[in-house]
Protein backbone atom coordinates (compact mmCIF):
# COMPACT_ATOMS: atom_id res chain seq x y z
CA UNK A 1 0.00 0.00 0.00
CA UNK A 2 1.32 3.44 -0.91
CA UNK A 3 2.15 6.07 1.68
CA UNK A 4 -0.42 8.74 0.88
CA UNK A 5 0.94 11.36 3.28
CA UNK A 6 4.46 11.65 1.84
CA UNK A 7 5.19 13.79 -1.22
CA UNK A 8 5.92 11.49 -4.17
CA UNK A 9 5.61 11.18 -7.93
CA UNK A 10 1.99 10.15 -8.64
CA UNK A 11 3.07 8.33 -11.81
CA UNK A 12 4.95 5.73 -9.77
CA UNK A 13 2.97 5.86 -6.55
CA UNK A 14 1.02 2.70 -7.47
CA UNK A 15 1.59 -0.32 -9.75
CA UNK A 16 1.94 0.29 -13.47
CA UNK A 17 1.11 -2.15 -16.28
CA UNK A 18 1.70 -4.67 -17.67
CA UNK A 19 -0.39 -6.77 -15.32
CA UNK A 20 -0.97 -10.54 -15.53
CA UNK A 21 -4.08 -11.96 -17.14
CA UNK A 22 -6.64 -12.63 -14.41
CA UNK A 23 -10.06 -13.65 -15.70
CA UNK A 24 -12.75 -14.06 -13.08
CA UNK A 25 -16.43 -14.99 -13.33
CA UNK A 26 -18.92 -12.20 -12.69
CA UNK A 27 -19.06 -10.46 -10.23
CA UNK A 28 -15.44 -11.19 -9.29
CA UNK A 29 -13.57 -11.03 -5.98
CA UNK A 30 -11.17 -8.16 -5.28
CA UNK A 31 -9.03 -10.33 -3.00
CA UNK A 32 -8.07 -12.43 -6.03
CA UNK A 33 -6.76 -9.52 -8.12
CA UNK A 34 -3.05 -9.13 -8.92
CA UNK A 35 -1.89 -6.59 -7.96
CA UNK A 36 -4.42 -6.16 -5.18
CA UNK A 37 -6.28 -2.83 -5.35
CA UNK A 38 -5.71 -0.22 -2.66
CA UNK A 39 -9.14 0.66 -1.30
CA UNK A 40 -7.65 2.53 1.65
CA UNK A 41 -7.50 -0.46 3.98
CA UNK A 42 -4.20 0.81 5.38
CA UNK A 43 -3.67 4.03 3.47
CA UNK A 44 -6.77 6.18 4.07
CA UNK A 45 -6.49 8.47 7.11
CA UNK A 46 -9.67 10.16 8.33
CA UNK A 47 -10.16 13.43 10.18
CA UNK A 48 -13.73 13.37 11.50
CA UNK A 49 -15.41 15.05 8.53
CA UNK A 50 -18.49 12.78 8.76
CA UNK A 51 -18.82 12.20 12.48
CA UNK A 52 -22.29 10.90 13.35
CA UNK A 53 -23.42 10.56 9.73
CA UNK A 54 -25.35 7.57 8.31
CA UNK A 55 -24.44 6.29 4.85
CA UNK A 56 -25.73 3.70 2.39
CA UNK A 57 -23.23 2.64 -0.29
CA UNK A 58 -24.15 0.27 -3.10
CA UNK A 59 -21.43 -1.91 -4.58
CA UNK A 60 -19.59 -1.48 -1.28
CA UNK A 61 -17.81 -4.85 -1.29
CA UNK A 62 -15.04 -3.82 -3.70
CA UNK A 63 -13.74 -1.11 -5.98
CA UNK A 64 -14.81 2.50 -5.61
CA UNK A 65 -17.77 1.61 -3.35
CA UNK A 66 -15.46 -0.19 -0.94
CA UNK A 67 -13.07 2.76 -0.89
CA UNK A 68 -15.94 5.16 -0.14
CA UNK A 69 -17.26 2.92 2.63
CA UNK A 70 -13.85 2.65 4.30
CA UNK A 71 -13.27 6.40 4.03
CA UNK A 72 -16.71 7.17 5.45
CA UNK A 73 -16.06 4.96 8.48
CA UNK A 74 -12.63 6.54 9.01
CA UNK A 75 -14.35 9.94 8.86
CA UNK A 76 -16.81 8.90 11.59
CA UNK A 77 -19.89 7.60 9.74
CA UNK A 78 -21.90 4.42 10.20
CA UNK A 79 -22.28 2.55 6.90
CA UNK A 80 -24.79 0.18 5.32
CA UNK A 81 -23.23 -1.92 2.57
CA UNK A 82 -25.18 -3.17 -0.46
CA UNK A 83 -23.64 -5.98 -2.52
CA UNK A 84 -24.46 -9.25 -4.28
CA UNK A 85 -24.55 -12.43 -2.16
CA UNK A 86 -21.71 -13.82 -4.32
CA UNK A 87 -19.51 -10.97 -3.07
CA UNK A 88 -19.78 -12.00 0.60
CA UNK A 89 -16.03 -12.70 0.93
CA UNK A 90 -15.12 -9.14 0.00
CA UNK A 91 -18.02 -7.65 1.97
CA UNK A 92 -16.97 -9.35 5.21
CA UNK A 93 -13.56 -7.73 4.93
CA UNK A 94 -15.16 -4.29 4.56
CA UNK A 95 -17.48 -4.89 7.53
CA UNK A 96 -14.47 -5.81 9.67
CA UNK A 97 -12.62 -2.63 8.63
CA UNK A 98 -15.61 -0.43 9.47
CA UNK A 99 -16.13 -2.08 12.84
CA UNK A 100 -12.42 -1.71 13.61
CA UNK A 101 -13.05 2.05 13.49
CA UNK A 102 -15.74 1.70 16.14
CA UNK A 103 -18.47 2.42 13.59
CA UNK A 104 -21.60 0.43 12.82
CA UNK A 105 -21.59 -1.68 9.65
CA UNK A 106 -24.82 -3.11 8.20
CA UNK A 107 -24.37 -5.91 5.63
CA UNK A 108 -27.22 -6.02 3.10
CA UNK A 109 -26.63 -8.67 0.42
CA UNK A 110 -29.16 -8.73 -2.43
CA UNK A 111 -29.77 -8.11 -6.12
CA UNK A 112 -30.51 -4.48 -6.98
CA UNK A 113 -32.09 -5.46 -10.30
CA UNK A 114 -35.08 -6.41 -8.11
CA UNK A 115 -37.22 -3.33 -7.44
CA UNK A 116 -38.64 -4.72 -4.20
CA UNK A 117 -35.15 -5.39 -2.87
CA UNK A 118 -34.03 -1.84 -3.72
CA UNK A 119 -36.85 -0.42 -1.64
CA UNK A 120 -36.30 -2.92 1.19
CA UNK A 121 -32.59 -2.09 1.12
CA UNK A 122 -33.35 1.53 1.94
CA UNK A 123 -35.93 0.61 4.57
CA UNK A 124 -33.50 -1.71 6.36
CA UNK A 125 -30.77 0.94 6.26
CA UNK A 126 -33.02 3.58 7.82
CA UNK A 127 -34.25 1.16 10.48
CA UNK A 128 -30.85 -0.24 11.46
CA UNK A 129 -28.85 3.00 11.26
CA UNK A 130 -31.61 5.16 12.68
CA UNK A 131 -31.74 7.37 9.61
CA UNK A 132 -29.94 8.13 6.36
CA UNK A 133 -28.08 11.26 5.24
CA UNK A 134 -25.49 10.00 2.70
CA UNK A 135 -26.62 7.95 -0.28
CA UNK A 136 -23.96 6.63 -2.66
CA UNK A 137 -25.42 4.84 -5.69
CA UNK A 138 -22.34 3.20 -7.11
CA UNK A 139 -22.98 -0.45 -8.04
CA UNK A 140 -22.66 -1.12 -11.75
CA UNK A 141 -22.63 -3.79 -14.43
CA UNK A 142 -19.99 -3.69 -17.17
CA UNK A 143 -19.54 -6.52 -19.68
CA UNK A 144 -17.73 -5.80 -22.93
CA UNK A 145 -19.11 -6.94 -26.28
CA UNK A 146 -17.10 -6.55 -29.50
CA UNK A 147 -20.03 -5.65 -31.77
CA UNK A 148 -23.62 -4.43 -31.64
CA UNK A 149 -24.98 -7.83 -32.72
CA UNK A 150 -23.33 -9.38 -29.64
CA UNK A 151 -25.24 -7.13 -27.21
CA UNK A 152 -28.23 -9.32 -26.44
CA UNK A 153 -31.54 -8.07 -25.11
CA UNK A 154 -30.65 -9.80 -21.83
CA UNK A 155 -27.32 -7.92 -21.72
CA UNK A 156 -29.03 -4.61 -22.38
CA UNK A 157 -31.80 -5.30 -19.86
CA UNK A 158 -29.43 -6.36 -17.05
CA UNK A 159 -27.13 -3.38 -17.59
CA UNK A 160 -30.04 -0.94 -17.66
CA UNK A 161 -31.61 -2.42 -14.53
CA UNK A 162 -28.35 -2.50 -12.59
CA UNK A 163 -27.07 0.93 -13.58
CA UNK A 164 -30.23 2.97 -14.19
CA UNK A 165 -33.39 1.34 -12.86
CA UNK A 166 -31.79 0.51 -9.52
CA UNK A 167 -30.53 4.09 -9.20
CA UNK A 168 -34.09 5.34 -9.65
CA UNK A 169 -35.67 2.80 -7.31
CA UNK A 170 -33.11 3.41 -4.55
CA UNK A 171 -33.21 7.20 -4.86
CA UNK A 172 -37.01 7.22 -4.94
CA UNK A 173 -37.16 5.12 -1.77
CA UNK A 174 -34.46 7.14 -0.01
CA UNK A 175 -35.51 10.74 -0.68
CA UNK A 176 -38.40 10.80 1.82
CA UNK A 177 -35.91 9.87 4.56
CA UNK A 178 -33.18 12.37 3.69
CA UNK A 179 -32.97 15.49 5.87
CA UNK A 180 -31.80 18.93 4.77
CA UNK A 181 -28.02 18.78 4.51
CA UNK A 182 -28.05 15.24 3.17
CA UNK A 183 -26.08 14.25 0.07
CA UNK A 184 -26.75 11.93 -2.87
CA UNK A 185 -23.73 10.81 -4.89
CA UNK A 186 -23.88 8.73 -8.06
CA UNK A 187 -21.06 7.07 -9.97
CA UNK A 188 -20.96 7.65 -13.71
CA UNK A 189 -17.80 7.30 -15.84
CA UNK A 190 -15.64 9.00 -18.42
CA UNK A 191 -17.53 6.55 -20.67
CA UNK A 192 -20.47 8.97 -20.52
CA UNK A 193 -18.36 11.45 -22.49
CA UNK A 194 -15.86 9.29 -24.42
CA UNK A 195 -17.55 5.91 -24.88
CA UNK A 196 -15.58 2.85 -25.89
CA UNK A 197 -16.87 0.87 -28.87
CA UNK A 198 -17.00 -2.33 -26.80
CA UNK A 199 -19.06 -0.79 -23.97
CA UNK A 200 -22.18 0.21 -25.87
CA UNK A 201 -24.78 -0.50 -23.17
CA UNK A 202 -22.54 0.46 -20.25
CA UNK A 203 -21.61 3.84 -21.73
CA UNK A 204 -25.28 4.54 -22.46
CA UNK A 205 -26.21 4.00 -18.83
CA UNK A 206 -23.37 6.18 -17.59
CA UNK A 207 -24.58 9.09 -19.71
CA UNK A 208 -28.04 8.46 -18.28
CA UNK A 209 -26.67 8.62 -14.73
CA UNK A 210 -25.23 12.08 -15.41
CA UNK A 211 -28.52 13.42 -16.80
CA UNK A 212 -30.64 11.81 -14.07
CA UNK A 213 -28.47 13.15 -11.25
CA UNK A 214 -28.38 16.68 -12.66
CA UNK A 215 -32.18 16.68 -12.92
CA UNK A 216 -32.51 15.19 -9.44
CA UNK A 217 -30.22 17.87 -8.02
CA UNK A 218 -32.63 20.56 -9.25
CA UNK A 219 -35.49 18.86 -7.41
CA UNK A 220 -33.63 18.07 -4.20
CA UNK A 221 -32.10 21.48 -3.57
CA UNK A 222 -35.65 22.62 -2.82
CA UNK A 223 -35.38 20.29 0.20
CA UNK A 224 -31.85 21.38 1.09
CA UNK A 225 -30.37 18.15 -0.27
CA UNK A 226 -27.42 18.07 -2.66
CA UNK A 227 -26.86 15.57 -5.51
CA UNK A 228 -23.66 15.17 -7.52
CA UNK A 229 -21.92 12.78 -9.89
CA UNK A 230 -18.42 11.31 -9.81
CA UNK A 231 -17.10 10.27 -13.23
CA UNK A 232 -14.06 7.98 -12.89
CA UNK A 233 -11.62 7.09 -15.62
CA UNK A 234 -9.60 3.83 -15.53
CA UNK A 235 -9.63 2.53 -11.96
CA UNK A 236 -8.15 -0.81 -10.91
CA UNK A 237 -11.26 -2.68 -9.78
CA UNK A 238 -12.61 -6.21 -10.14
CA UNK A 239 -15.18 -4.84 -12.60
CA UNK A 240 -12.46 -4.92 -15.24
CA UNK A 241 -11.09 -8.44 -14.76
CA UNK A 242 -14.54 -10.06 -14.45
CA UNK A 243 -15.56 -9.30 -18.03
CA UNK A 244 -15.56 -5.52 -18.08
CA UNK A 245 -12.58 -5.55 -20.45
CA UNK A 246 -10.88 -8.16 -22.65
CA UNK A 247 -7.94 -9.74 -20.82
CA UNK A 248 -5.50 -8.14 -23.26
CA UNK A 249 -6.81 -4.72 -22.19
CA UNK A 250 -6.70 -5.72 -18.49
CA UNK A 251 -2.98 -6.43 -18.91
CA UNK A 252 -2.41 -2.85 -20.13
CA UNK A 253 -5.19 -1.22 -18.13
CA UNK A 254 -4.55 2.45 -17.39
CA UNK A 255 -1.46 2.66 -19.58
CA UNK A 256 -3.22 5.15 -21.87
CA UNK A 257 -3.78 7.63 -19.01
CA UNK A 258 -1.39 10.54 -18.55
CA UNK A 259 -0.13 8.76 -15.43
CA UNK A 260 0.67 5.58 -17.37
CA UNK A 261 -1.26 3.53 -14.81
CA UNK A 262 -4.81 2.99 -13.53
CA UNK A 263 -6.12 4.85 -10.53
CA UNK A 264 -6.47 3.00 -7.25
CA UNK A 265 -9.89 3.19 -5.55
CA UNK A 266 -8.44 5.04 -2.53
CA UNK A 267 -7.37 7.86 -4.86
CA UNK A 268 -10.99 8.75 -5.61
CA UNK A 269 -12.36 8.25 -2.08
CA UNK A 270 -11.62 11.86 -0.99
CA UNK A 271 -14.01 13.12 -3.68
CA UNK A 272 -16.83 11.03 -2.20
CA UNK A 273 -15.93 12.37 1.23
CA UNK A 274 -15.98 15.99 0.04
CA UNK A 275 -19.36 15.60 -1.66
CA UNK A 276 -20.84 13.90 1.42
CA UNK A 277 -19.45 16.39 3.93
CA UNK A 278 -20.56 19.85 4.96
CA UNK A 279 -17.38 21.14 3.35
CA UNK A 280 -19.15 20.54 0.03
CA UNK A 281 -22.15 22.61 1.06
CA UNK A 282 -22.19 24.74 -2.14
CA UNK A 283 -21.74 21.84 -4.55
CA UNK A 284 -24.77 20.37 -6.31
CA UNK A 285 -25.63 19.22 -9.82
CA UNK A 286 -21.92 18.91 -10.63
CA UNK A 287 -19.90 16.18 -12.32
CA UNK A 288 -16.48 15.52 -10.79
CA UNK A 289 -14.17 13.85 -13.27
CA UNK A 290 -11.29 11.77 -11.88
CA UNK A 291 -9.94 10.42 -15.13
CA UNK A 292 -6.17 10.33 -14.94
CA UNK A 293 -5.88 13.47 -17.03
CA UNK A 294 -8.41 12.63 -19.76
CA UNK A 295 -10.93 15.19 -18.55
CA UNK A 296 -14.67 15.25 -19.27
CA UNK A 297 -16.56 17.51 -21.64
C-alpha to C-alpha distance for 153 and 151, rounded to whole angstroms? 7
255 class by beta-carbon count within 10 Å (0-12 exposed, 13-18 middle, 19+ buried): middle
Does the annotation mark 202 as catalytic? yes
CA-nearest of 264, 200, 252, 240 to 24 is 240
Task: Determine which one of 202, 212, 272, 282 is catalytic.
Answer: 202
C-alpha to C-alpha distance for 53 and 199, rounded to whole angstroms? 36
H or E element that contains 221: none
End-to-end CA, the chain: 32
DSSP characters over 39-84 = -STTT----STTTT-EEEEETTTSHHHHHHHHHHHHTT-EEEEEE-
DSSP lists the bridge partners of residue 107 as 81
Q: Which residues are catalytic, by number?
A: 202
Amino acid sequence: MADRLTLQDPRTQYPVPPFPKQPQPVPGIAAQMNPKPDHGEESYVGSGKLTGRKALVTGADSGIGRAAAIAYAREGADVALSYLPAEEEDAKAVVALIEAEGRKAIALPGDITDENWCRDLVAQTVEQLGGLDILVINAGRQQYRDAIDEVSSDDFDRTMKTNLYAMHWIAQAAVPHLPAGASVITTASVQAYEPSAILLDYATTKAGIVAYTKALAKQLIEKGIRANVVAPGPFWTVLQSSGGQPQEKVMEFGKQSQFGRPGQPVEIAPVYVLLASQEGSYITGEVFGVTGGAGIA
